[in-house]
Structures are given as C-alpha cells and as structure tokens.
Structure 1
Amino acid sequence: MHSVSQGRPLPQLEGRFLIVDRLGDGGTATVYLSWDSKNQNWCALKLLLHKYAEDEEMRRRFTQEAEALKLLAHPNIPHLIHHDPDSEPLFMVMELARNGSAMDWVRNNGAMPPCVAANVIFQVCQALAEAHAAGIVHRDVKPHNVLLDDDGICKLTDFGIARMFDSTSLTKTGSQIGTFSFMAPEQRSDTKSVDHRADIYSVGASLYTLLTGRTSAELFVASLDDELLADVHPALREVILKATQYRPEDRHASVLILQAELMDALHQVGPPISELPPLVQRREPLPRRPPPTLPPHKEFPEIDKSLGAWQPPLPPEPRLLETPSREGILPTSLSSSPGLTPAPPEERPRGHIVLPYTMPKRPQPILYLPTPTPPSRSVELTPRGPTPRARSWVRPLLAILINGALWLSAIAAFTTLATVLWGAWSVHVARLDTHDALFDLTESLQTEVGVAYQVQGDQHEFEAIYERYSASTGAARQQAALDFVAALDEAVAGDDALVGAGALPQVRKLQGARDGYLEARETWTHLSGRFPGVIAVWMGLVDAP
C-alpha cells in the first residue's frame, strides 16, 4: 500500500487505460484524462458513476451513447476508441479535446464576435447533419457540449440523452430531459416525442448565448421583446428568431438550411474591426508518456469506488518488546564456613541461605583458596531487614510488572491507531456519500428545472439562479443549486395548491435531493470534527468539508 504522501500507481482499466487526471464531472459520468497503453496516445475516458453501476436504465443509456458515437464517424463528433457494454465498471474511451468548451471561451473572453460564433455554430450544424441523417436527435445541444481540440476543431459531445429513431426509447412519455435554457418548448413537456427540429431550436439558443454571453428560456417570444436581441446584429437576429420559433414547423426545415442562412447573414455583418482572440489558446503539450504515479493527495473517488481500491493507510506494525530472559539465574549456597566451595543443592545443610545469583555475561576465572579447617559446628545466620524468602521474589515480581506495563502500552497504542483508522474510514465514507448526494442534487436540478414554470414564482429569478449554476463550478455551483431549491420552497410556501398539475412530484424530488445533500454534508462535517475523525484529518489521512 502506497501512502498518500508518496503517491500511488495510476488506476488502470482493463490493463490498458491509465487514469491520469479528471477532466470534468457530469450528472451520470466523470471524464478522465487517460493514457492508452496499446495505441500509445492520450484519450478521454468517460466512466459511469458508481451509484449507477446496478441501474439498468442508466447502463442502457450510457451504452446507447457509445453506440451513437460508433455510428457517427465525423470530424466534428468525437471518435469512439473503445467500449465494452459488459465491462465492469462501465466506461467508454474517446478522442481527446482538452481545450474546454465553447461556453468556457465565453466565460474567459466575453461574448464571441459574430465570425467566431458563426464558425462554432457552422461546425455544430455539420455534426448535427450527420446525426440527423443517421436518425439520431441529440436533445441537449448547448455551448457547454461543444468541445475544442488543439486545432480549434469543434466536437459536439454528450449524446447521453440522444434519441435514435429506430430504437426503443429510454425516455418515458411526459418526462423532461435536457438543459432548460436551450430546450425547445415541446421538449419541456415531452422529451420522447421531439424530432430534429428540437435540435434546431437548441442551435438558435446556442448562437444567442455565444453572441451575447447570456441565456434565455424565452427566445420563442423574442419577437415580442425588443431588448432581448438588442445586442445582436440584425442579420444574425433573423437567424435566431427563425430557429427559435415556438412551433417546430415554423423553424428551419434542417440544420443545413440554418447553416446556409447563417453564412449569408455573416456576409452582411462584415469583417471584424479589431483583432480577434484565437478560438484555441496555445497550451503546453502533453508529455510523451504518463507519470509513473499519481501526484500526492490526488484522489479519484469514482475510480476508487468502482474498483474498490481505497483503504486507509496502514500504520507501522507495533514492535513487541521481548520479555527479559531469566536464563542464567542460578541459586548458590552460602556456608557459614570460611570455605567458598558450593555444595550440591540436594546436600545443603540446615541454616544455609539461598539467594538469587545472576551469572555474569562472560566466564570469570575461578580462584582456589586454601581450604581452612572446618569448624566443629555450623553457625546460624540471623537475617536483618526483609527475610531472604521475601527478597527472592522481588526481581521476578518486578519483571512481571514491567512486562505487563509494556504489554498494556502496546495494546493501548494499537487500539488508538485502530480507532484513528476507523475514524479515517468513517470520514472517507461520509465524504463519498456527500459526493453522491451532490450528484443527485445536480442531476435532479438539470432534469427537473422546468418545474420553475409550473409554480407561482418569479421566473426571471429562477432563470438567473440556473444561469449562475450553469456558469459556475465547485462551491459556487453547489450554492446555486441550493439557492434554486430555496427559491422553489419560497414559491410553493408549503401550499401544494400553488404547484401546477403534475409538478408536485418534481418539486418533491428536488426538495428530497436537497435535504439528502445537506444531511450527508452535515454527517461529514460532524465526523471530521470529533474524535477520532478529527485526528485522521489532522494527520492528513482524509479531508474535511
């Protein structure tokens, strides 16, 4: 077992794919930077979350995404390198696009210039044309799912909720899957029945976001709101208005028609008046080979749970002190006679006192003295102080007491270490439970966000919170999710009558996911702040919230 400070070997899947770093997290999967030891190149490995390992519907949906990628061989769609539907854990490997998403570009640089945005949308249309020709509707087109490779080529990814026309749908009638601000009106009420025109709406909404840096769930009424598209060039405004019509039949008939109108509009915009930032920033090239071990303190909770690899670091084995040997302790006899020659034990005369005598470590020379004339009678010695019999028990008793104390100390030390390790394990499990609960909350928010339009609340507030959620990461993203459910609580105000028909289960799902996350986080905080978890945190074995 490698300690945390020393790093540990790279996790490995199927003896081929080495996990080096985490690229991103989603509602159902995590994507890792991986090294393909067979092809000797870098790739992206997408792993189904451990909590869905036994979920047959999620496994079918994950496998369907891989099958969609296998069907779609196109430069603007990630190439599928490897997928085994029977693998444990379930994962797929795709070509790597490590320069973030089109939405990341907007966050870092602001709204895209028209020619840059048109370039991105042009490539998205190319990818969708390939998918639609194969009978596949993406159903979640948005700038977040448009990845950029090192050459600036856009890759439309995340076909996890795609619908294949010729396959049995995994989506129930009346269910809602997608991302709210980019979702066509008909998709908000029934995802199962949508066709390729729902993707066209999402393309128009994505173009609006790239050009303005904002999102809106009401683009289908943009013609009635002069301010909504005020920052968009009139030529491009017409493309967005056409693509985001409320009725599917009023939109572009295909993405290729939308693409052609976009290019015509771009000619009307004219050349840029200033130098454009590059679509892809130069980055340090990846090393030619992966590192031998993970950096200290780098953890992959999902990989560890899927492979069952995590264990608390074991302490050094306690050293047991040897019991002092009694070897060499021999009795001798003292005679009242001046003679020093010892008599055999069985022939000791009465009146002789037996004292413990420790043999010296090295043999000592024996001195022979002249034997004097023995006395006529033996002399009885009168002991002073403790009796000889009492003194004969002192050293054995001390040895027993010392050995007992040493054993008790060793047992106490071992018990303390075992307790600390148990605390480390408890905190680690609580941390993983919190991680799972957070995924439940974010996934519920992404799938049930449309409930905001079925309660009597401020719709603009819900949209602003969801936009903050979509644009943030880490603690800010968690807080935005909590704020969304809190706004939902305020809108409902404990009165089910304020909830639209059929929306109450969605409200309860979001509230339950929020409560589960808060409870799991409280447990993690509690265990990491009390003994023995606090000692494990102090030693660096586990992390506190």
Structure 2
Amino acid sequence: MIGNSGVIGDYELRGHLGGGGQGCVYYAVNWLTGEECALKIYHDDFDERRVVREASSLKGRNIPCFPRILDSGSVNLEGRDRLYVAFEFIEGVTLESRLIRGTLDEKDAMSLGISIASCVDALWRHRIVHRDIKPKNIMIDSEGSFVLIDLGCAQHQDLERITETGFTLGTPGYMSPEQALGRSALTVKSDVFALGIVMYESITGCHPYEASQRNILLESFRVDISGLSRFEHFRGLIPRMLHPTPILRPLPSQVIDELKGGD
C-alpha cells in the first residue's frame, strides 16, 4: 500500500491527486532535480504494453494542451515491480470539478473546444486516438487554460493492436458509436464525438445522451439541441460533432476554425 507521502525511487511523494482503474497519481518532486510532477504509479496488474506506449509515444514531444512526459521507469514496492510515468504537473482543477459549480460561459466553452481540438489534432498527427475524453480528463490550470490528460486508453494506429477486436476501452457515456462497438480502426473523428459531448455538457449543464452509452447507440434517440439555441457558435457545430456517422463529423481543424471565427 502506497501512502500519500514518502520516497519512491527518485521521487518524494507529497500528496495524492487521484486514481482509478489504471493506478494512482501523486503530486511528487524529483529530489535530484527539484522538478514538480504528477507521478502516475500503475497497478501491478495493468497491461505493461499500455504503460510503455503512454511513456514512449510522446516523450520529448511538445503536444499543445497536453502535459509533457518527463520520465518513466519502474520501482519495486512491497516485492512487486510497479511501472510509473512522471508528467508535467498541472496546478488546477478538473473540468468535472469545475462543472459542479455551474456551466462555462460561452467564451470559456469556446476556449475549451479550441484547446482540446488542438490537442487531439496534434495527437492524430502521431496516429494516436485518445479514446477517453471526458470532464475528469480535462484540467483547468491556474491561468484558466484547458489541458487534456491521460493516454492510458489511447489507440496507437501505427502499432500492434492491444485491445482485441470487439472489446473496447473508454468511459461509458463518452464513447463514440464506433468505439463502443469495438471497431478496430478508430480515427480522430471518435475523439471529436467525445469532445462534442463535453462541450454540450459544459455549456448546458446536461449530458446530451443522459450519460447513457445505450442512448448513444440507439438510432431512435434524438439529442435535444434546443438548449444550444442561444449559443451562436455551438448550435450548428455541436450537432455535427455528434453525428453518428464519423465521416460526417468535422475534423478537429474545422472545429478550431469555426470557433476561432466566432472570437
């Protein structure tokens, strides 16, 4: 059991930031360099291949609105090897926490859309689909900027598949139809769909599919777009982002252009 403080390898733990099915994340400081980081320590039964991909795919690369990967490796805890990845520390709150206080105004929602679309566009240039865009995986830093985190569920199109065909990773209620159905070759349009859900939720205070993956898959379910009518820059864009057919959704660059056109 890892406490909220102590020394693990080169890192001094100074607080627990969160956790989930993949592992736990700590606020830590590298005692050799003094650099702050978010240290993600994976559960010992988590697929090692996914950790290696998360660490190696973007290490040394600058992706807009995504934390830099600083270090990765393994440590022995209680007789078991545990993999870790050290990310740039983002001081702030999750979008999920922020939305508890109320919806975003239109200007901030536009910034959200532009920032996360820029990130998924850059990831797609490296043939990466994030696959887990949701309010919990978006940070708002101390300057009010939006940052996408966590590549633990990502699909790397140029690498051998890890997830078996017919199975899927992601969060119910935020997966595109093709992702939920376990389609083998996702594209960036899947991330556009998830971003559309997050944008809808951020400005209306409601989930467009009532937080139900079943509703996303039901052809008979219709998203209530009346809540978007007063938002000039979203009422036409978000319904297209949520189109059930990927080819009919806009590209991230088109999302950015439309939102910037409304600045």
Q: How does 1:318-337 map to 2 (within 5 A)?
A: none
Is the alpha carbon distance of 1:136 and 1:151 closer, same or farther for their aligned partners in structure 2, counting shifts above 3 Å?
A: same
Moved more, 83-92 or 185-194: 83-92
Partner of 1:230: 226
- Does residue 22 of structure 1 match 2:11? no
Q: How does 1:290-301 map to 2 (within 5 A)?
A: none
**For residue 167 of structure 2, what is the amino acid of its counterpart?**
S
Partner of 1:214: 206
Partner of 2:57: 68
Q: CA deviation at 1:10?
A: 4.2
Give the alignment partner of residue 6 of structure 2, picking from 4, 8, 11.
Answer: 11
- Does residue 59 of structure 1 match 2:55? no
Is the alpha carbon distance of 1:151 and 1:39 closer, same or farther for their aligned partners in structure 2, counting shifts above 3 Å?
A: farther
Give the alignment partner of residue 261 of structure 1, picking from 236, 258, 263.
Answer: 258
Which has more helix, going by share of residues? 1
Q: Find the aligned partners of 1:259 and 1:222 in 2 and give their Cα distance.
A: 28
- Does residue 245 of structure 1 match 2:243? yes
SS in 1 for 2:63: coil
Partner of 1:82: 71
Is the alpha carbon distance of 1:209 and 1:223 closer, same or farther for their aligned partners in structure 2, counting shifts above 3 Å?
A: farther
**For residue 225 of structure 2, what is the amino acid of its counterpart?**
L
**For residue 211 of structure 1, what is the amino acid of its counterpart?**
I
Is the alpha carbon distance of 1:245 and 1:220 closer, same or farther for their aligned partners in structure 2, counting shifts above 3 Å?
A: farther
Partner of 1:41: 35
Contact 2:5 2:15 in 1 (8 A): no
Give the alignment partner of residue 125 of structure 2, picking from 113, 129, 133.
Answer: 133
SS in 2 for 1:92: strand
Q: How high is the TM-score relative to the length of structure 1? A: 0.43
SS in 2 for 1:180: coil
Q: How does 1:145-544 map to 2 (within 5 A)?
A: 145-217=137-209, 218=215, 225=222, 228-232=224-228, 233-252=231-250, 254-264=251-261, 266-267=262-263
Contact 1:63 1:85 in 2 (8 A): no
SS in 2 for 1:160: coil
Q: CA deviation at 1:157?
A: 0.8
Q: Find the aligned partners of 1:9 and 1:214 in 2 and give their Cα distance.
A: 35
Partner of 2:89: 96
What does the per-residue CA deviation read over 1:77-132, in whole Å, with 9 as the maximum and x for residues that have no partner?
Answer: 11111102687321111111131112211112x11111111111211111111101
Q: Find the aligned partners of 1:48 and 1:225 in 2 and give their Cα distance.
A: 39
**For residue 31 of structure 1, what is the amino acid of its counterpart?**
V
Contact 1:23 1:33 in 2 (8 A): yes
Which has more strand, going by share of residues? 2
**Runs (5+) with no aligned partner, structure 1:** 1-7, 268-545
What does the per-residue CA deviation read over 1:264-319, in whole Å, with 9 as the maximum and x for residues that have no partner?
Answer: 3x35xxxxxxxxxxxxxxxxxxxxxxxxxxxxxxxxxxxxxxxxxxxxxxxxxxxx
Give the number of the structure whose alpha-carbon radius of gyration is greater: 1
Identity level (%) = 23
SS in 2 for 1:128: helix
SS in 1 for 2:184: coil
Q: Find the aligned partners of 1:168 and 1:13 in 2 and give their Cα distance.
A: 32
Q: Find the aligned partners of 2:99 and 2:174 in 1 and give their Cα distance.
A: 16
Please provide the CA RMSD for this pair: 2.4
How many residues of Structure 1 are paired with residues of Structure 2 in the alignment? 250
Is the alpha carbon distance of 1:103 and 1:191 closer, same or farther for their aligned partners in structure 2, counting shifts above 3 Å?
A: farther
Contact 2:4 2:13 in 1 (8 A): no
SS in 1 for 2:58: helix
Contact 2:4 2:14 in 1 (8 A): no
Q: Find the aligned partners of 2:39 and 2:194 in 1 and give their Cα distance.
A: 27
Is the alpha carbon distance of 1:102 and 1:60 closer, same or farther for their aligned partners in structure 2, counting shifts above 3 Å?
A: same
Q: Find the aligned partners of 2:70 and 2:16 in 1 and give their Cα distance.
A: 18
Is the alpha carbon distance of 1:105 and 1:12 closer, same or farther for their aligned partners in structure 2, counting shifts above 3 Å?
A: same
Q: CA deviation at 1:67?
A: 1.7
**For residue 241 of structure 1, what is the amino acid of its counterpart?**
P
Q: CA deviation at 1:18?
A: 0.5
Q: Find the aligned partners of 1:83 and 1:156 in 2 and give their Cα distance.
A: 19
Q: CA deviation at 1:171?
A: 0.7
SS in 1 for 2:227: coil
Q: Find the aligned partners of 1:248 and 1:71 in 2 and give their Cα distance.
A: 31
Is the alpha carbon distance of 1:224 and 1:80 closer, same or farther for their aligned partners in structure 2, counting shifts above 3 Å?
A: closer
What does the per-residue CA deviation read over 1:499-525, in whole Å, with 9 as the maximum and x for residues that have no partner?
Answer: xxxxxxxxxxxxxxxxxxxxxxxxxxx
**For residue 100 of structure 1, what is the amino acid of its counterpart?**
V
Is the alpha carbon distance of 1:241 and 1:10 closer, same or farther for their aligned partners in structure 2, counting shifts above 3 Å?
A: closer
Compare relative contact order (CA 8 Å, sep 6+) and give the higher one, 1 or 2: 2
Partner of 1:500: none
What does the per-residue CA deviation read over 1:31-79, in whole Å, with 9 as the maximum and x for residues that have no partner?
Answer: 00101112213211000024x1xx5xx1111221112331641241111
SS in 1 for 2:16: strand
Q: Find the aligned partners of 2:148 and 2:206 in 1 and give their Cα distance.
A: 20
Q: How high is the TM-score relative to the length of structure 2? A: 0.86
